[in-house]
Amino acid sequence: MLNADKTLTSGMTSNDKQIDVLMRRYAKAAPRTSVSGHLDADELSAFAEGSLPPATRAGYVSHLADCDDCRKQASALAISSGAVVRTEESPSTVVSGRSFWQILAGLFALPVLRYAAFAAVLLMVAGVAFVALRQSRQSRNRSGMIAANEPVNQQRESAIKPPAELQEGSRGNKQADTDTRPAPSPPPSAGNDQIAKAETTTKPAEAVAGTGLMKEAPPAAPITAEKKPAQGEVAQTAPSYAPVPPGDVVTQKKQEDYREAQTRSGISGPRQQQQKLDADKFGQERERDATKDVARTDDLARKSGAPASVAANQPPPSPRRAMDEKAKGPMRNMENNSINRNENLGRVEAPKTTSTGGSDRAATEEAPQTRSAGGRKFRRQGAAWVDQKFKASMTLKSVSRGSDAFDDLDSGLRSIAQQLGGEVIVVWKGKAYLIK
Amino acid sequence: MRGFSSAKRILSLTPKQIDELILAGADRLLARATNARLLTAQTLTKRLRRVTEKYVLRHDPAAAAATINGFLDGLHADELCLVMACEQGDQTAWSELFEGYAATVRSAARVSSSSESMADDLAQSIWAELHGLKAREDGTAAGKLAYYSGAGSLGGWLRAVVGQLAIDQHRKQAKVVQTEEDSELDRLVLSEAEPDGAHAFQTAASPEDLLAGNMAAADVEKALGQAIAELADEDRLLMKLYYFEGLRLREAGAVLGVHEATASRRLTRIHGEVRQRVEAILMKEHGWTKSEASRSLAEVAEHLQTEVEPMLTGKADATLRSSPASG
């Protein structure tokens, strides 16, 4: 109330103030008037409570405007009867009783739209300012993109690099690391050690876990540690938006080819479970490859004069890839190391062989070390395929292909033997068979 | 005009139709009442007929049936039944009336009295008046309850009765003892004794003395009174409530049945109308131009402003909140 009166006073124009002053003085000086026919108590209370018909009320209003006595009583009754509270609450009830269209029309009323227009202007200004600031910020970021990209490369490099603990930690880890890069071939061994190492080459996770057999493996040369600074230099000197060097293009192509080969083979990692059918499909091709590899290994052994056992234990090299690796030189080899290590983490490594000479360390050969046949996994051990379920404690039963004993074997076992070719050690119904 | 009268005559209800409406309204009233107190529609009909004549047909002889039904359905059924039962000598109804409204009567008596003892005396007088000290021809007590229509609440009616009775008592005392006490009731009584309001005008003669020396101010004041008299009843009542009775805008709006904001807008509009009327009167009576009339009005207002300013600043917000009449 006080606020409303103050608002009225402060919101008055100069003309209104003049009338207000005149009225105040006139009210003090004006004589009190009273007309005949005062309202009785029932009429006054009915008027004060607003319960009269409009025509009746209009007549009473006319009387009250002229009769000071009745007006005084009526105003006192209206105030005491709570009419003030009723009129204060009435706007809310009016609002709540309005229809949807009335409310909608109220939203677009001029008194509301003037505020809405002001708010819209504010929003537009804020939007323009936001866009302008954002563009300027983007331009600044673009100018500092070279510096901004270096940490990204370094981070990527650090992701490639194994942690120091992994590099200098357990020997098992080192052994696993050697499996993922072209390193000197492990020394030949025979018997159970060969089988165990074959497992480590195809199961990096197990190798990381560390087994007793793995401890016998020599520590791998820190090739990765030697070559990473060079890669770091490349990453630091070559911004991300720089064109890819030709050598990298070749490397990328090789990497893609290798990835494609891995995908096609589907013999390792989680994809193996999903792509069993693909593995069976390409089983025949792999059998032919294996046969060729065996023959190639024998030739190399004869040429180098190395013992046949050593040659047999070496994975079959790929002459073409070996030549490529030589042509690329050590730098190329370093890149391949990092790429292969990155790609082969958790994957099946291609057979990595070196030529008999130490200078041919870069001439690594990648060939499938594991195969699947008949729903089983086989590891290459020399020229033989060994069932993963095979244990050293098992007694091998030797069976020759084409013999009667071979014909007596289960069809599934025979199918596996035919798919893999060569010497195959298969664990079938708890028994180990050496099929030649 | 003749057609309008004939149409109005056609639309007017016959007495028989009005009786039927009232009888039906009595039935509905009894149906609405939570306690009919053994009253019948026939008992109520006479009362309702009188009430309808007073509040509807007197002011709108051609009132439609809907208007009458609306009025009858708006009556306070329970309270009217209680009052009528009291009139018929229902002691239970009397007990309920006293228990239910003794506090209301007492409160109204305190407001209208200057002391507790006077308030007690006034309250006792009210109950006596309600019960009726005299008897009618039919033997029933001629109490004030017979004037309750049910249009307003019983509590509001009792407060109005207490107020009027307080004025009557004060008037009687004022006639015996010429009191010098300056109170609102004194002003009412004195103005009643002197219908021309000369005394009240004399009490506020000092501003007039200030204006008397200035002919322009007198002219403006006269024009102002004329302009106010020409206002519509609602507007005039609002001006009287705000400037004469000293009500706040919220209270003035409550008397008129409008919100405070509505009353404020109306007052601003009335200011403009009054200004136009005053200028028109000054131009007509004195042959002034509009600019001359405006300048004269502004000069008078400025002169009054300088007189009133110290008083307004001295009373600060209290003066702004209260009426100019009371301030």
Q: How sure is the predictor about B183, in pLDDT bands with cuts at 50, 70 and 90?
A: low
User: Does A23 sit within 8 Å of B324, measured CB to CB?
Assistant: yes
CB pair distance less than 8 Å for A72 and B184:
yes
- Given a contact cutoff of 8 angstroms between Cβ atoms, the answer to whether A30 and B225 are in contact is yes
pLDDT value of position A169: 42
Q: Report chain B's C-alpha Rg in angstroms.
A: 26
Torsion angles phi and psi, residue A225, rounded to 5:
-65, -30
CA distance A377 to A396: 18
Retrieve residue A260's tokens.
């494609």
pLDDT digits (tens, 9 = 90+) for B210-248: 554 467 778 888 888 889 989 999 999 999 999 988 899
**Residue that is written with structure tokens 């190639």 in the block:** A296
The answer to whether A71 and A63 are in contact (CB under 8 A) is no
Kindly list the residues from chain A whose CB atom is less than 8 angstroms away from the CB atom of residue B55: 46, 52-53, 56
Q: Give the pLDDT confidence score for residue B151 in this predicted structure.
A: 92
Q: Which residues of A fall within a CB distance of 8 Å from B164? A: 40-41, 73
DSSP assignment letter at A189: -
Output DSSP code: residue B324.
T
Q: Which two tokens stand for residue B20?
A: 């039927």
**What local confidence, expressed as pLDDT, does residue B28 receive?**
93
Report CA-CA distances (Å) from A85 to A2, A347, B245: 15, 82, 20
Between these two residues, B180 and A426, which has the higher pLDDT value?
A426
Beta bridge partners of A217: none
Q: Does A91 touch chain B (CB under 8 A)?
A: yes
DSSP assignment letter at A219: P
The answer to whether the Cβ–Cβ distance between B297 and A18 falls below 8 Å is: yes
Between chains, do A75 and B251 touch, taking CB under 8 Å as contact?
A: yes
Distance from CA of A99 to the nearest CA of B (A): 21
Give the ipTM.
0.79
Q: Which long-range contacts (CB under 8 A, 24 or more apart) does B52-55 make?
A: B52/B18, B52/B22, B54/B149, B55/A46, B55/A52, B55/A53, B55/A56, B55/B149, B55/B151
Residues of chain A with pLDDT under 70: 1-15, 34, 82-99, 111, 141-368
The pLDDT value recorded for residue A407 is 86
Question: Is B64 an interface residue toward A (CB < 8 Å)?
Answer: no
Find how far residue B233's CA is from the centre of its chain.
13
- Residue A366: in which H helix or E strand, if any? none
C-beta contacts of B16-20 below 8 A and 24+ residues apart: B17/B65, B18/B49, B18/B52, B18/B57, B18/B68, B19/B45, B19/B49
pLDDT tens-digit series, residues B116-163: 888 888 898 888 888 877 776 766 667 888 899 999 999 999 999 998
User: Is the minimum CB–CB distance between A205 and chain B shorter than 8 Å?
Assistant: no
Q: Tell if the CB–CB gap between A88 and B261 is shorter than 8 Å.
A: no
Contact B205, B302 (CB under 8 A): no
Query: Could you report the per-residue pLDDT of A67-86, keeping only the tens digit for each?
Result: 888 898 888 888 887 655 55
Closest chain A C-alpha to B311 CA, distance in angstroms: 12
Say if A32 is an interface residue toward chain B (CB within 8 Å): yes
| Three-state SS at A421 | coil
Average the pLDDT over B62-70 and give the result. 90
* Nearest CA-CA partner of A23 in B194, B254, B238: B238
Strand, coil or helix: what is A143?
helix
Chain A residues within an 8 Å CB radius of B67? 53
Q: For A425, list phi and psi in degrees, rounded to 5.
A: -105, 115
- A95 contacts A63 by C-beta, under 8 angstroms: no
Residues of chain B contacting A75 with CB distance shorter than 8 Å: 241, 245, 247, 251-252, 255
Burial of B50 (0-12, 13-18, 19+ CB in 10 A): middle
What rounded mean pLDDT belongs to chain B? 79
| pLDDT value of residue A375 | 82
pLDDT for residue B47 is more than 60: yes
10 Å Cβ neighbour count for A58? 15
Residue A387: strand pairing partners = A378
Q: Is B320's pLDDT higher than 50? A: no
Question: Is residue B40 predicted with pLDDT exceeding 80?
Answer: yes
Assigned token pair, B324: 């100019």
- Residue corresponding to tokens 């002229």: A66
Q: Are A376 and A389 in contact, with CB atoms under 8 Å apart? A: yes
List of chain B residues whose C-beta atoms are within 8 Å of the C-beta of residue A37:
none
pTM for this predicted structure:
0.49
CA angle A233, A239, A244 (to 5 degrees): 90
Smallest CA–CA separation between B80 and chain A, in Å? 12
Name chain A contacts of B308, Cβ cutoff 8 Å.
Answer: 21, 24-25
Nearest to B311 by CA among A25, A369, A27: A25
**Comparison of pLDDT for A5 and B62, the residue scoring more:** B62
How far is residue A172's CA from residue A176's CA, in Å, rounded to a whole number? 6
Rg (CA), chain A: 48
C-beta separation of A27 from B228 below 8 A: no
